[in-house]
Structure 1
Amino acid sequence: MNSDFQSAVSVDSYDYPPPSQWQLALCDLMKKYGHKGGNFSLDVGCGPGRFTEMLRAPLFERAFGVDSSVNMLKRAAARSKQENVSFVAGTAERLPFPSGTFDFVLLRYLLHHLADIPKVLLEVKRVLSRSSYCVIETANPEVLAQRPVYQQFPDIARKDLMRWPRISRITEICFDAGLEVLGVDTFKDMRGTQSKDEYRDWLIKWEKNGGGTSFWRLFDSDERSRYAKYELGRLDQTGETYKRQIFTESEFLVIRPAGMQK
């Protein structure tokens, strides 16, 4: 994983509740493609571990999360209350597990942080058992490009969109790694809400200090000031009961070792 990302990342920026329908969507996806769960699952680039925990019950007997950030792992271990959920230090390029260990591997919003996606997918194939599946969850660059903030800041949009591999490119890399893409499914859900005061406080802190997720760290100080001024002005025109709705739209790529029979 990119070392600059790891050194600058804020744990709080990635420690948010999963979308309300995410676990149900994953269960439906596994049922659709004939995967019945199993013993061991792995969340690569697990961050604070919220999604790792959702792999545990009712899907798998044991869930592992791996991340190269010590701070992320500390947060995950401190908050996790589930049995049979473990967090391990390691990189996606060199997973610290024996070959054929896992019945399921999740790569959620990870690919755009990676310098060597082919190497990571070869590692994923190595740790998968023969009857296993992997789900890659990622953003579709064509959908991202429609966000209003991209229209306001085209230079930032270009920088950000370059980081996100297109679905067709991911499919090619999977094929070269000996992995078969069974299908691509779109997932849409509301990730959460912010009150007017919560959003205002976030904008003020972000304008002053920067930080946030990898997208928000693309803004320089002048760009932060411009965006914060625009959004704060817009907030002033809303009522006190205003809530900012945060939606998510992603693509689930379901893959498995090539040649595996259903």
Structure 2
Amino acid sequence: MGLERVDYDRTQHAGYAKGRRLLPSSRRNWMRAFRDLAGDRRISRIADVGSGTGRFAPVLADAFGAEVVGVEPSARMREVAHVESSHPLVTYVEGSAEDLPLDDAGVDLALMFLVWHHVPDRPAAARELARVLAPGARLLIATTLADRLKDLLLYRYFPRSRDIDMELFPTLGETVGVFAAAGFAHAGLLEVHHRSADSLREYTERQRMRALSVYEHLTDEEYRDGLAALEADAAEETVSRPVEAECDLLAFTRL
């Protein structure tokens, strides 16, 4: 298929914060999962790698009482983060997973939330993450896995998005292998219950913002047809139906 990389400076940044806003129940579920997999070491500095518009950085700062460095390559996404996700313990800086502006062994916990599939050179990124994480520190990766695809509502309205995800995302074994080669041990896998909308109507409003990167790989016709079908079903909704899914969260320990 030869999918092109998504340019967040050109697209996505405008509607991302609103379209991907965390609901309170999902925020609680993710924070509980992060704490469960963070390990026993004292956490004073966290790297939010691929922090985007800052969905998680302030929440991480509050949950762990730690300094958070949000590393994000997109200038436009960082601009939004500075405005909408500011926090006294959070700093947003330019960088990428393969080139982190962080000291050796200076990070006690790192998070990559739906970022791993965007990384062009995954082995290089794994080595760089190993450099900045202290020995015994944990890396958490929330990601789709090609061999563990869920039955997402998105696939019903935009069918080719499933094929795109199959191409974009690595398997569990591939992911574990990349990190093992860089000096990590696989420390756990949790399924986290994520609610993306409280109703089909709300879900439809979010999809109008085109805040999912998979839409960049669909044709305009595919997007319009899927959205039209979604809008028709949402218009007939009489009882609110939450849109929910189980999401995979991987943990690795820096050896």
* TM norm structure 1: 0.83
Which stretches in structure 1 are left out of the alignment for 5+ residues? none
* Structure-1 residue corresponding to 2:110: 105
Letter in 2 for 1:164: F
Structure with bigger RCO (C-alpha 8 Å, 6+ apart): 2
1:29-48 matched pairs, under 5 angstroms: 29-30=37-38, 34-48=39-53
* Structure-2 residue corresponding to 1:251: 248
Give the distance between the partners of 1:40 and 1:122, measured in 2 at CA: 19
* Structure-1 residue corresponding to 2:133: 128
Which stretches in structure 2 are left out of the alignment for 5+ residues? none
Contact 1:53 1:85 in 2 (8 A): yes
1:6 deviation in Å? 4.4
1:119 deviation in Å? 0.8
1:104 deviation in Å? 0.8
Report sequence identity in percent.
22
Give the distance between the partners of 1:56 and 1:194, measured in 2 at CA: 30
- Distance 1:216-1:62 versus aligned 2 partners, 3 A rule: same
SS at match of 2:231: helix
Q: Which has the larger radius of gyration?
A: 1
Letter in 2 for 1:216: Y
1:143 deviation in Å? 4.7
* TM norm structure 2: 0.85
RMSD across aligned positions (CA) = 2.5
1:43 deviation in Å? 0.2
Give the distance between the partners of 2:242 and 2:217, measured in 1 at CA: 22
* Structure-2 residue corresponding to 1:12: 15
1:134-149 matched pairs, under 5 angstroms: 134-144=139-149, 146-149=151-154
Count of paired positions:
247
1:214-247 Cα distance to aligned partner (Å, 9 max, x none): 12222212212321232233233322xx435232
Letter in 2 for 1:128: L
- Distance 1:131-1:22 versus aligned 2 partners, 3 A rule: same
